[in-house]
Amino acid sequence: MLDELAQIERDGLTLLAASKDAASLERWRLDYLGDKGRLKQANLRFREVPKEQKPAAGAKLNAVQKSLQEAFDARKAEVGAAAPPTGPMLDLTEPGLTPPIGRRHILMRVREELCEVFARMGFEVADGPELEDEAHNFTLLNIPPDHPARSPIDNFYVDDPDATDRPRMLRSQTSTVQARVMETRKPPIRIVAPGRVYRPDTVDATHSFMFHQIEGLSVDRGVSLADLKTTLMQFARAYFGPDADIRLRPSFFPFTEPSAELDMKIALRPGDPPRWIELGGCGMVDPAVFTACGIDPEEWTGFAFGFGIERIAMGRYKVPDIRMLFENDLRFLAQV
Ligand code: DAH
């Protein structure tokens, strides 16, 4: 029995060493460790072993069983590790390639930021059409028929065979939205209106035939110039930081009286000295505009303002040329 077990162990180890893949290992396992394998057979014959030899034979049986099982486990690990992987080679720990994703255009971001700051001061966002009529672009805003601002040289009029009585144009200012809101709503009114405007200017570093403005209008009982100044000051500080300042320079617009140009003193970057930048116009709504839009100027007063959004974006992000904002060069857009 002892000899037989030693033989099984030798044969087993030799054959195991020659098993080079999972299939031959499995065959070996059935031959040696399986239910009908050689060790099981030897175990069955254990009964026939004379009594006095049983302890030695039993110990040997256990030892061979253990030795073959361990050898099998070790060999299996070796063969498994050496085996070429089947299926696709995938390393799930490898960092992926980040697909280039877009971002909001700088002008749209500034526009959103401006609306947000004014929303905190109680202004809602209003909207109006870019294809306008002369009434909303000029007449209701107290710009008389012979005013030079109406000149075809300074505006994009649109041929519209259906509207010969109501000539159309691409709006030249967002002040049109003031007229539209006042026509349809009763005060109190507090709106901002961001949007595109069009003027046939020759394109250069500071001019474009299309740009963006944000208009503001506040109408209520007892609104004064002090309210306008306070609102503009609060806006400047909220958007450009606590050191921002504003300056109003007397000016003229047909739809406001008095009227002013608005400058803001802003540090364009942290650490830069603040400097004055002209942002647009403002003033107290002219009573003639209220009357034209159906609001009683004896009861209501209001202020209005209009800023250039490109101006603000260029000042804030140090963009030297307005054309960069419209060329959609991704190398530029990725930086601002
Ligand atoms: N609409 C004027 C422009 O385009 C800007 C402006 C000035 C808007 C005064 C206003 C205002 O609301 O009160 O030049």
Instruction: Quick: pLDDT tens for 214-254.
Output: 999 999 999 999 999 999 999 999 998 888 889 999 999 99
Asked which of 39-53, 232-246, 291-305 is least confident by mean pLDDT, the reply is 39-53
Tokens representing 137? 């672009």
Predicted confidence at residue 145, as pLDDT, reads: 93
Q: 322 near 234, Cβ under 8 Å?
A: no
Predicted confidence at residue 215, as pLDDT, reads: 98
Tell me the three state secondary structure of residue 324. Answer: helix
Q: 21 near 9, Cβ under 8 Å?
A: no
Exposed/middle/buried for 137, CB within 10 Å: 0-12, 13-18, 19+?
Answer: buried
Judged by phi (left if over 0) then psi (alpha if -120 to 50, else beta), residue 87 lies in: left
Q: What is the mean pLDDT of residues 143-170?
A: 88
Q: Which atom of ligand 1 is nearest to the CA of 280?
A: 5
The pLDDT of residue 167 is above 90? no
Q: What is the mean pLDDT of residues 131-153?
A: 95
Segment 102-133, tens digit of pLDDT: 899 999 999 999 999 999 999 999 999 999 99
Asked which of 19-23, 30-34, 182-186, 237-241 is least confident by mean pLDDT, the reply is 19-23
Predicted confidence at residue 49, as pLDDT, reads: 87
Bridge partners of 174, per DSSP, are none
**Percent above pLDDT 70 for the chain:** 97
The pLDDT of residue 21 is above 90? no
Q: Which atom of ligand 1 is nearest to the CA of 260?
A: 9
The CATH number of 106-333 is 3.30.930.10
**Three-state SS sequence of 11-72:** HHHHHHHHCCCHHHHHHHHHHHCCCCCHHHHHHHHHHHCCHHHHHHHHHHHHHHHHHHHHHH
Predicted confidence at residue 147, as pLDDT, reads: 95
Tokens representing 215? 């208009």
Give the domain ranges of the chain.
2-82, 106-333
Spatial neighbors of 48 by CB under 8 A, at least 6 apart, are: none
Q: What is the mean pLDDT of residues 142-146?
A: 95
Predicted confidence at residue 84, as pLDDT, reads: 67
> In testing the pocket of ligand 1, which one of 305, 309, 310 has its CB within 8 Å of the most ligand atoms?
305
**Closest Cα to atom 3 of ligand 1:** 173
CA 214 to chain centroid, in Å, comes to 22
Question: How remote is the CA of residue 306 from the centroid of ligand 1, in Å?
Answer: 4
Q: Which atom of ligand 1 is nearest to the CA of 213?
A: 4
Judged by phi (left if over 0) then psi (alpha if -120 to 50, else beta), residue 142 lies in: left
Q: Which atom of ligand 1 is nearest to the CA of 256?
A: 13
Question: How remote is the CA of residue 136 from the centroid of ligand 1, in Å?
Answer: 14
**Closest Cα to atom 13 of ligand 1:** 282
Predicted confidence at residue 81, as pLDDT, reads: 72
**Percent above pLDDT 90 for the chain:** 57
The pLDDT of residue 267 is above 70? no
Q: Which atom of ligand 1 is nearest to the CA of 172?
A: 4
Question: How remote is the CA of residue 104 from the centroid of ligand 1, in Å?
Answer: 27
Tokens representing 62? 């256990």
Q: 295 near 189, Cβ under 8 Å?
A: no
Bridge partners of 80, per DSSP, are none
Q: 205 near 321, Cβ under 8 Å?
A: yes
What residues flank ligand 1, with Cβ below 6 Å?
173, 175, 215, 253, 256, 259, 280-283, 304-306
Q: What is the mean pLDDT of residues 152-167?
A: 84
Spatial neighbors of 265 by CB under 8 A, at least 6 apart, are: 244, 245, 246, 247, 274, 275, 276, 277
Predicted confidence at residue 191, as pLDDT, reads: 98
Q: What is the mean pLDDT of residues 28-54?
A: 88
